[in-house]
């Protein structure tokens, strides 16, 4: 079974100026990420604007990542919705396109009970043979999956192997460490909290900022996992402002702007997302210049 640990990038989806998936740019991103030491890739998540992809595009993005990665790293495809049957459909498509695992967010808007979450993810798990990474991000879904629920799924469903924890609640995450079964991976879903979560016992990070600095982000997680807290701390504080700037507006608006400034993609979004305010662009540019990721305009 695929081992999902270390640093994974929640990939942006590049679009052309005429609003098609930019396959060539996506291939470049995948190659750059792998060459920079990323441990796994996560296409078609929130950062990948998955809710605006039609089914053909969804397949195309996963297929492109699988083919370009060439089994060098696992591909963990996003497959989430607030309709259980639709998630099963997406998960089957991801498996058919060669994904090594799926990342599935808690249902949004419906506000299911904890029992409803157990039934939802158990149904999805039964529809595929590849592993599932649960995704808890109550700030975007309005639904918080509690540690006991995660532990129950990990114990009862063999292909539930990990969780991307983005609740922002360190006390809740520590409780999860106490109740999770052996071998179940806890991955930070917040760049700024990854140091704390991995230091407390987590197995890695699914990152937004690694779209911009893949070598440095994966280097921080490797340093943490080998116990080099001094090096990990250095990287955490050097890039902390960049991590926070990625949420100055709704993700993935700032990170796509930053990656476009690096020259890898066009700055194109799909509605209802739109370009970042000019004042926020200037803040991002200043940070990228400070970090010497782009040339200074001065």
List residues with catalytic annotation.
135, 164
Residue 277 CA to residue 84 CA, distance in Å, equals: 36
Q: In what order do the strands lie in the sheet with 132-136?
A: 40-42, 6-10, 204-207, 185-188, 160-165, 132-136, 101-105, 76-78
* CA–CA–CA angle 50, 19, 272 (5° rounding): 55
Tokens representing 5? 């640990």
CA angle 245, 250, 254 (to 5 degrees): 45
Alpha-carbon span 61 to 55, nearest angstrom: 10
Distance separating alpha carbons of residues 173 and 207, to the nearest angstrom = 17
């Amino acid at each position: 079974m695929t081992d999902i640990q270390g640093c994974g990038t929640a990939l942006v989806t590049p679009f052309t100026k005429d609003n098609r998936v930019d396959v060539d740019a996506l291939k470049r991103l995948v190659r750059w990420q792998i060459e920079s030491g990323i441990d796994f890739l996560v296409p078609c998540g929130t950062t990948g604007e998955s809710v605006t992809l039609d089914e053909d595009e969804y397949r195309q993005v996963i297929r492109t990542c699988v083919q370009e990665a060439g089994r060098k790293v696992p591909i963990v495809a996003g497959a989430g919705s607030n309709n259980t049957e639709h998630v099963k459909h997406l998960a089957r498509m991801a498996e058919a396109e060669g994904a090594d695992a799926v990342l599935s967010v808690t249902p949004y808007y419906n506000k299911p009970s904890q029992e409803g979450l157990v039934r939802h993810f158990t149904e999805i798990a039964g529809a595929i043979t590849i592993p599932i990474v649960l995704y808890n991000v109550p700030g975007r879904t309005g639904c918080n999956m509690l540690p006991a629920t995660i532990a129950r799924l990990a114990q009862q469903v063999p292909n539930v192997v990990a969780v991307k924890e983005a609740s922002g609640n360190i006390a809740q995450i520590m409780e999860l460490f106490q109740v999770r079964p052996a071998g179940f991976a806890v991955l930070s879903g917040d760049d700024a909290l990854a140091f704390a979560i991995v230091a407390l016992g987590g197995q890695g990070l699914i990152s937004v900022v690694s779209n911009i600095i893949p070598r440095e982000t994966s280097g921080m997680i490797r340093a943490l996992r080998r116990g080099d807290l001094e090096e990990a701390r250095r990287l955490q504080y050097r890039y902390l402002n960049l991590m926070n700037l990625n949420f100055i507006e709704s993700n993935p608006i700032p990170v796509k702007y930053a990656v476009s400034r690096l020259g890898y993609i066009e700055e194109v979004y799909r509605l209802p997302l739109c370009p970042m305010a000019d004042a926020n662009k200037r803040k991002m540019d200043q940070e990228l210049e400070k970090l010497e990721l782009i040339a200074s305009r001065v």
